[in-house]
């Protein structure tokens, strides 16, 4: 069974990493995969998100926004710990993969993808509070996750597991903050 799963993972990796090798795609995926290094993504996007939460939910929106940051931070922390435990090599470190590496891989651990986890955490969490944006959010998360395979730094199973973990973190933290806010609103003594 393990061999079957590895063969499926390897075949999917080779497809996403090598088949769509188009000049324009090979130029754009390294940019997409590393959006978090761009100033606008690091600073402007959080300011816009914070503003949108505040605009829709007023003061409580600040709490919702802070829990989004907590959700992403927790997912990123746990993902880093899992990588150290699993110690799965990245595709470009394995001869079988015949990797076309188009971006740097960071530390040399592949499972699971923190990029996928973080983006799906953000998508799942925000989609609960802004349902109209869910398709765009999940679409962006999927594009970034697939870019990790295309640039040769993750296997499809890395991004699949990262996406599942991200959705779990997003839903969990959205549920927690909604319960906390609900209890606070139900108990007038907490307002003092």
pTM for the whole structure: 0.86
Question: In this model, does residue 97 exceed pLDDT 70?
Answer: no
Q: What's the CATH number where 81 sits?
A: 1.20.144
Total of domains in the chain? 1
Question: In this model, does residue 135 exceed pLDDT 80?
Answer: yes
Q: Angle at which helices 59-86 and 114-129 pack, to 10 degrees?
A: 160
pLDDT at residue 189, rounded to an integer: 58
Which range marks the domain in which residue 72 is found?
A: 2-191
CB 119 within 8 A of CB 69: no
The average pLDDT across 137-159 equals 91
31 φ, ψ (degrees, to nearest 5): -75, -45
pLDDT at residue 174, rounded to an integer: 96
Q: Which residue has the higher pLDDT, 116 or 151?
A: 116
């Amino acid at each position: 069974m393990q061999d079957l799963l590895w063969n499926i993972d390897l075949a999917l990796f080779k497809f996403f990493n090598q088949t769509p090798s188009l000049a324009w795609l090979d130029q754009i995926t390294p940019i997409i995969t590393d959006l978090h290094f761009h100033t606008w993504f690091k600073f402007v996007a959080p300011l816009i998100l914070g503003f949108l939460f505040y605009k829709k939910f007023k003061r409580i929106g600040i709490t919702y926004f802070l829990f989004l940051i907590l959700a992403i931070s927790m997912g990123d922390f746990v993902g880093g710990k899992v990588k150290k435990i699993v110690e799965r090599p990245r595709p470009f470190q394995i001869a079988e993969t015949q990797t076309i590496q188009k971006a740097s891989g960071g530390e040399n651990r592949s499972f699971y993808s923190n990029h996928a986890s973080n983006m799906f955490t953000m998508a799942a969490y925000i989609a609960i509070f802004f349902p109209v944006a869910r398709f765009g959010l999940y679409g962006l998360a999927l594009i970034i996750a697939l870019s990790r395979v295309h640039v040769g730094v993750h296997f499809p199973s890395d991004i699949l597991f990262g996406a599942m973990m991200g959705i779990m973190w997003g839903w969990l933290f959205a549920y927690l903050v909604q319960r906390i806010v609900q209890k606070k609103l139900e108990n007038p003594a907490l307002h003092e």
